[in-house]
Amino acid sequence: MSTIIEPFRIKSVEPIFFTTKEQRAVVLEKAFYNPFLIRADDVMIDLLTDSGTNAMSSAQWAGIMIGDESYAGSNSFFHFEKAVQDITGMPIIIPTHQGRASEKILFSIIGGKGKYIVSNTLFDTTRANIEFSGAEGIDLLCPEGKIPSVPAPFKGNMDVEALEKFIIEKGAVNIPLCMVTVTNNSGGGQPVSMQNIRDVKQICGRYGITLFIDACRFAENCYFIKLREKEFANTPIPAIVRELFSYADGCTMSAKKDAIANIGGFIALRDEDLALKCRNLLIITEGFPTYGGLAGRDLEAISIGLYEVMDEHYLQYRIRSIEYLTEKLIAEGVPVMQPAGGHAVYIDAKVFLPHIPSHQYPGQALVGALYREGGIRSVEIGSLMFGKYDDEGQLIPAMMELVRLAIPRRVYTQSHIDYVAEIIIKVYREREKIKGLKITYESPTLRHFTAKLEEIS
Ligand code: F0G
């Protein structure tokens, strides 16, 4: 097969500022070994997130120019509403400024003490919003999703047997909502199959539980369905997307991912009563229902991006570039989540750094090493992000210690990716030199964003 090329030309570029290893060692220490505290100019290849870091197309920039900034009834809102209705098949569309704003509104209404929200895996902001409402978030991921080294086609699937067991145990009245995250970001960017969504829908239907989709990466998930679920081999992506959403009562979305925009989000749903409650909260927290937390120009960029993301040449290049990096690492023995996910490569830091125990945060230590060696910024998805303390103050480690290298959409070329692979392989060969970390400051919620750490000598 010939090389899969980037399906775009580059019209506008941004400079990368080069730094030396010595300079980066100083920056890292001053940032307390926390990538969120490093200035972007001090980063050479920024793989911290694929969220809001997308390169917009010339068509989206043209959309920015025609944005209608009217407070009420903006033309851009009607473009946005039509696009989201068309893609999801859902009638009611509520714009928000980003994914977590949608979550905050939704869970303020349906969450609360004594309630459980079940999921394949909740993203950290989703879980935080659920817990903030007083409810409890429950992850019921399929067993194969929990073993990074074992490949399987749909490692993001929900464990449907565990779901039904949980419903029977806790009572359906205490479970107002089931949220399926596509793709499963915290579990390696792994997809959920259409069959799994159908099975989950059937169980939710049987017990009268509302089914929502966390739709951040819906197009990437649907491309995996096309590649891996025989039934869909010849189905166009928009039709797969429509079917996926057809099983859901609603969805929350961060347009910073698969709408290829820099900001934005929405709630889409079918229930007029729930929509009314959402809009009431929206007006207090985000804005009037025809702009949510967004400018008219953002609504335009999102409506255009939502169609661009479903282009199969784009999706082929997107998924292939992640797979390409994964393959290079596997060839050199670097332990990575297999198979490659949709938006990121996940390194298994537990296996990469066997000499660093969970309470010394191997993932965060590896994040630091990649930055120091090559100016690459990544993020820990492990015990710093998800760890909790028991009654004696001992760390309860996360299920996995992963380091995520999230690839921004349409931003980096193949040679950037080659460079990333070279740096990771170099760090892997010298891995025994990497030291564990200890926390010197942490906040009570979402501590990874602001935590300060130092090296244990
Ligand atoms: N759901 C998922 C699956 C996500 O990955 C994110 C964000 C959100 C919800 C929240 O959306 O950021 O617009 O408020 N994920 C980013 C990341 C931050 O880096 O993975 P948001």
Average predicted confidence (pLDDT) for the chain: 97
Q: What is the pLDDT of residues 141-176, one digit of tens each?
A: 999 999 888 999 999 999 999 999 999 999 999 999
Q: Output the CA–CA distances (angstroms, integers) from residue 61 to 39, 152, 165, 187, 217, in the order listed.
A: 26, 39, 49, 33, 22
Whose Cα sits closest to atom 15 in ligand 1? 51
Segment 394-413, tens digit of pLDDT: 999 998 899 999 999 999 99
> What does the pLDDT look like over 404-455, one tens digit per residue?
999 999 999 999 999 999 999 999 999 999 999 999 999 988 899 999 999 9
Question: Is it the case that residue 40 has pLDDT exceeding 80?
Answer: yes
Distance 156 CA to ligand 1 centre (A): 16
How much distance in Å is there from the Cα of 50 to the middle of ligand 1?
9
* Mean pLDDT, rounded, for 80-97: 98
Task: Report the separation in Å between the CA atom of 123 and the middle of ligand 1, taken as the mean of its atom positions.
Answer: 7
Q: What is the pLDDT of residue 91?
A: 98
Measured CA distances, 368 to 64, 227, 379, 399, 426 (Å): 37, 35, 9, 21, 14
Ligand 1 atom showing the smallest separation from residue 48 Cα: 19
pLDDT of residue 84 exceeding 80, the answer is yes
Q: Ligand 1 centre from 215 Cα, in Å? A: 10
Handedness of CA 53, 261, 318, 363 (dihedral sign): positive
- Tell me the Ramachandran region of residue 394: left when phi exceeds 0, alpha when psi lies from -120 to 50, beta otherwise: beta
CA angle 80, 83, 88 (to 5 degrees): 120
Q: What is the mean pLDDT of residues 95-114?
A: 98
Pocket test for ligand 1, best of 107, 216, 404 (most atoms within 8 A of CB): 216
- Indicate the top mutation candidate among 121, 123, 449 to test ligand 1's pocket, ranked by most ligand atoms within 8 A of CB: 123
Q: Tell me how far the alpha carbon of residue 255 lies from the centroid of ligand 1, in angstroms.
A: 9
What pLDDT, on a 0 to 100 scale, did the predictor assign at position 376? 98
Tokens of 447: 């501590």
Structure tokens at 221: 């998930």
Q: Is residue 277 pLDDT above 80, yes or no? A: yes
Amino acid at 449: F
| Confidence category of residue 207, pLDDT binned at 50, 70, 90 | very high
Per-residue pLDDT reduced to its tens digit, 171-200: 999 999 999 999 999 889 999 999 999 999
Q: Which residue's CA lies nearest to atom 21 of ligand 1?
A: 99
Ligand 1 centroid vs 354 CA: distance in angstroms?
29
| Among the listed residues 319, 388, 312, 360, the one whose alpha carbon sits nearest the alpha carbon of residue 128 | 388
From the CA of 181, give the closest atom in ligand 1. 3
Q: Which DSSP string corresponds to 288-317? A: -TTTTTS-HHHHHHHHHHHHHTT-HHHHHH
Strands 265-269 and 250-254: antiparallel
pLDDT at 2: 86
> Rounded distance, CA 163 to CA 178, Å?
9
The CA 95 to ligand 1 mean position distance, Å, reads 16
Half-sphere exposure of 97 (CA within 13 A, CB side): 11
- Determine the pLDDT at residue 413: 96
The model's pLDDT over 238-256, given as tens digits with 9 standing for 90+, comes to 999 999 999 999 999 999 9
Residue ranges and CATH numbers for the domains of the chain are 21-50+312-455 (3.90.1150.10), 58-308 (3.40.640.10)
Ligand 1 closest atom vs CA 50: 19
- Name the more confident of 283 and 2: 283
| pLDDT reading at 236 higher than 90 | yes
Tokens of 39: 């200035």
Judge whether residue 1 has pLDDT over 80: no
Cα separation, 166 vs 304, in Å, equals 40
Q: What is the pLDDT of residue 399?
A: 85
CA distances, 312 to each of 275, 308, 315 (Å): 33, 9, 5
Cα–Cα–Cα angle for 169, 115, 193, nearest 5°? 70
Report in angstroms the alpha-carbon separations of 351 from 167, 193, 206, 366, 384.
Answer: 35, 28, 42, 11, 17
Residue 263 Cα to ligand 1 midpoint, Å, equals: 11
DSSP letters spanning 227-269: HH-GGGTTS-HHHHHHHHHHT-SEEEEETTTTT--SS-EEEEE
Residues lining ligand 1, Cβ inside 6 A: 49, 51, 98-100, 123, 125-126, 181, 185, 214, 216, 254, 256, 265
Task: From 267, 265, 228, 260, select the one nearest 245 (Cα to Cα).
Answer: 267
* Alpha-carbon torsion, ordered 261, 265, 269, 271, to 10 deg: -160
The number of the ligand 1 atom at minimal distance from the alpha carbon of 101 is: 14
Q: Determine the distance separating the centroid of ligand 1 and the alpha carbon of 217, expressed in angstroms.
A: 10
Q: Could you read off the pLDDT of 3-22 as tens digits, one per residue?
A: 899 999 999 999 999 999 99
Q: How confident is the model at residue 366 (pLDDT cuts 50, 70, 90)?
A: very high
Model confidence at 54, pLDDT cuts 50, 70, 90, reads very high
Enter the tokens of residue 304: 């255009």
What is the distance in angstroms between the CA of the first residue and the CA of the last residue of the chain? 49
* Structure-token pair, residue 161: 């047997």
What is the model's pTM?
Answer: 0.96
